[in-house]
Amino acid sequence: MENGPRIVLRGPLYLVVLAEMKLNTPRQLAPPSDRSRVGTPPSRRTRITEKHRAQAIDLYVGGMSAVDVGQEVGVGKATVLRTLQDASVPNQAARSSDYIDRV
């Protein structure tokens, strides 16, 4: 039993041959080398406009969370936080009242 137990088949064995084969894929797929990412949808990245940047900063400085600002403006939380960092706006935990007075 070097390769496992042997299975003994008894009785008549029938071989079925398909006369016609149909593919279940309705369209031709490009070869994998032509597809950039296999199995993942293309990214739907939206660039934030200057108007939305200013709106995001105003909402955040006004007390909204980054998640709420992102939902309001239509971008992700990471985009909001990156925009705030680029504008040198301190995060909610570290900002002080003097920054709000300057804005």
User: Which tens digits make up the pLDDT trace of 24-54?
Assistant: 666 666 666 555 555 666 666 667 889 999 9
Nearest CA among 75, 35, 46, 39 for reference residue 59: 75
Average pLDDT estimate for 89-99: 66
Whether the Cβ atoms of residue 90 and residue 96 lie closer than 8 Å to each other: yes
Looking at per-residue pLDDT, the higher value among 3 and 10 belongs to 10
* pLDDT given at position 16: 74
- 58: confidence class by pLDDT, cuts 50, 70, 90: very high
3-class SS letters over the chain: CCCCCCCCCCCCCCCCCCCCCCCCCCCCCCCCCCCCCCCCCCCCCCCCCHHHHHHHHHHHHCCCCHHHHHHHHCCCHHHHHHHHHHCCCCCCCCCCHHHHHHC
- 101: confidence class by pLDDT, cuts 50, 70, 90: low
